[in-house]
A and B are shown apart, each in its own frame.
Chain A
Amino acid sequence: MSYQRNYYSSRRQQQWNRNQNTVAFVSAVKLGPVAHTVLIALMITVLGLIYLTQATRATGYDYQAQKIDDKIADLSTKKADLEVENARLTALETVQNSTVARTMTPPTSTDYVRE
């Protein structure tokens, strides 16, 4: 006598659910533990290289920023020098001793306009 034993399995225990394909793709390529290790090592290396590239690029920006800062400082110094020169040229003593001022004569009389 033979009989067939029926096993009940709940939907939760099944590998598939309603409206879900029950066909699973299984790759024909089989990777062994060595290949996995090499792949992980490669991924880490690539990530490391990406990190190094970004870090180097950021440092490059630092040098550019420093150059711009230096240029700003230099231009600020030049601006300050020009302001000092301007202040000296327009100082009262300089104006009073200028050739234009020396040729001026005091007014002989002053009149006021009355409204």
Chain B
Amino acid sequence: MKLDLQTGSRSRILAILILFIMAIFVVRLFYLQIIEHGKYVAMANSEQLKRLTIPATRGEIYAMDGTTPVKLVLNQTVYTVFADPHVATDDAKIIDTIRRVAGGNAQPNLDGLLKNKDSRYEILAKGVTRAQAEMIKKENLSGVGFQAQSQRVYPEGQLASQVLGFVNNDGVGQYGVEGALNDQLKGTDGLLQSVTDVNNVPLTIGNKNIDKPAVNGQNIALTIDRNIQSYTEQALAAGLKRTGATNGSVLVMDPQTGKVLAMANLPTYDPSHYGDVQDAADYLNDTVSVPYEAGSVIKSLTVATGIDKGVITPQSTYDNKGTIDVDGTTIQNASLTEVLGTQTMQTALTWSLNTGMVTVAERLGDGSNITKQARDTIYHYFHDEFGFGQLTGIELAGESPGNIISPDDPDGGAVRYSNMVFGQGMDVTMIQTASAFSSLLDGGVYHYPTVVEGTVGGDDSLTEAAPKPTKQVIKKTTADQVRQMLVIDRHDNGASDTPGYTIGGKTGTSQALINGKYVFNQTTGSYLGFGGDDTPRYVIMVQVSGKNMALGGAADAGPIFTDISNWMLSYLKLAPKAQ
């Protein structure tokens, strides 16, 4: 049947009109669904699809308690309690509850915050624990909400704070292990993309859902032994109180492995309140970040260089006149009147004679001058072998390479090198010095220092880190001779050690360089020594200083070494040799 509408009839007009309207619909729908397809899909997705970040849990940090890892830094979920004053009705009840439950975590002016009805967000309390948050939730306060966040917790308080560092408000590790191993500790955030309902509950609708789980950060166990660290900090604090020094650092390490057992610095800070620190220098771990002129503790390395090159033995002699001339500059001993005349290198080390060390440097040259050849040899040992002027690679943020002048530098002349052989004229860190010193105690093997023992699994099991590489820096015979010289040095200087053990060490007193000149009224005292039974078990380096204070290695740093050393013998349960 053919519908035949008369031209101009109402039916025909209606049909045309309907066709026209239908055409408009078709065009409009084509525009919306085909041409604008992408735009509207994006709009729909933005309404329906939520992208939620699944935060990775930051790895925890452990210390060792003997051979057992113990937690030193943990994570805890805390809450920020906020109010929407526009919605909040019972202000009095809110104030009473927050003050009663949150206590010191409550903001001081709660009444004023809630009266600000134009505001939609006011923080009422910060750092509220889960238990406190549960108590507040039970009160069913209208207009009050909670925001959860993770924060670092330090059950041992300030212990090893400069080794640990802290995590800032952006979740980024700063200083110490937190800074150096931030990538390892932070993990990788996961992603959840899903259609959600009005309460943000993810629904398995749609084909664009993504569920990528977070990869939590690794738990790291440090080589730091919390008992040694604790005692070291106490001994350092007592030492500073006794001497009046304002700054001090102690480093304890195992010379057989290069593992750092303790690092203590004063002044220090509380990592859970890192924002309260007045002087940013307190964040620094001085043992790795602050190079200084270590003074006579370096003489043990000078003697090692001389013996290793075959130019001296412990019994080699020289004529000590109290002073020695180097290119027109007079180098003198601390005492101009003692042990003059023919002296052995052992005596030069025991009495810390600068003239003896300059003599070693001269013998590395033509015998009477610190020639370029001598300077090259000293630089080779100090820089290339013992690692001065280079990063040790220890896993701590802010390590300084120090500074040692090359003999090719215009400033690297004979006078400079005559100072360097007794520990002045170059800047070294304690970790560099103690690591170099440790090589004298393990048959000439240099161990790169480390603070990482390994990683800890979910069941608290420890997986030890791969050992760092080692290098032979001096001959074993050289190392054994210098080790014995250090024992004689300490013995002859009348140390009050627990009998039956092998203890050795060297003092160091370095003048401060103020306005380009060395001064006598401000000196830094250092002590670098070791102890153990037949095998050296520990190396301890102590440094004390203070503004306008003349502090000595023997009088001020030495007693701190002795205190820690005697305690270490008991702690390590080392049996004394038969007397």
Contacts and interface: CB of A to CB of B under 8 A. Distances in A.
A87 to B, nearest CB: 4
Contacts of B167: none
Contacts, number: 56
Interface string A91-113: 11100000000000000001010
A45 interface: no
Contacts of B130: 77-78, 81
Interface in A20-68: 55, 58-59, 61-63, 66
Given A62-B202, A92-B156, A92-B230, A87 B71 contact: yes
B107 interface: no
B70 A81 contact: no
Given A62-B203, A91-B155, A91-B156, A77 B70 contact: no
A88 interface: yes
B570 interface: yes
Interface string B125-137: 0000111000000
Main secondary structure of the interface of B (DSSP, over half): mixed
A80 B74 contact: yes
A59 B203 contact: yes
By CB atoms of chain B within 10 A, which of A59, A83, A92 has the most?
A: A92
B155 to A, nearest CB: 4
B156 to A, nearest CB: 5
Interface string B222-237: 0000110010000000
B222 to A, nearest CB: 15
Given A62-B202, A92-B227, A80 B77 contact: yes
B203 A88 contact: no
B204 A62 contact: yes
A5 interface: no
B76 A63 contact: no
B575 interface: yes
A84 interface: yes
Interface residues of A, number: 22
Contacts of B157: 91, 93
A63 B71 CA distance: 37
A81 B74 CA distance: 10
B80 to A, nearest CB: 15
A21 B381 CA distance: 105
A36 B353 CA distance: 115
Interface size class of B (residues with CB under 8 A): 20 to 34
Contacts of A55: 205
Contact of B575 (A62, A88, A90, A114): A114
A12 B452 CA distance: 85
B76 A59 contact: no
A88 B576 contact: no
A66 B202 contact: yes
B141 interface: no
Contacts of B575: 112, 114
Nearest to A96: B230
A71 to B, nearest CB: 14
A62 B201 contact: yes
Contacts of A62: 201-204
B268 interface: no
B499 to A, nearest CB: 12
Given A62-B203, A63-B201, A112-B576, A84 B76 contact: yes
Interface string B506-522: 00000000000000000
A46 to B, nearest CB: 21
B406 interface: no
B75 interface: yes
B102 interface: no
B570 A110 contact: yes
A57 B204 CA distance: 11
Contacts of B487: none
A80 B57 CA distance: 11
A61 B204 contact: yes
Given A81-B76, A81-B131, A92 B204 contact: no
Contacts of B456: none
A76 B153 CA distance: 16
Contacts of A84: 74, 76, 153, 155
18 contacts: A58-B205, A59-B204, A62-B202, A62-B203, A62-B204, A66-B202, A80-B75, A81-B77, A81-B129, A83-B74, A84-B74, A84-B76, A87-B74, A87-B155, A92-B159, A92-B226, A110-B570, A114-B575
Interface of A: 55, 58-59, 61-63, 66, 77-78, 80-81, 83-84, 87-88, 90-93, 110, 112, 114
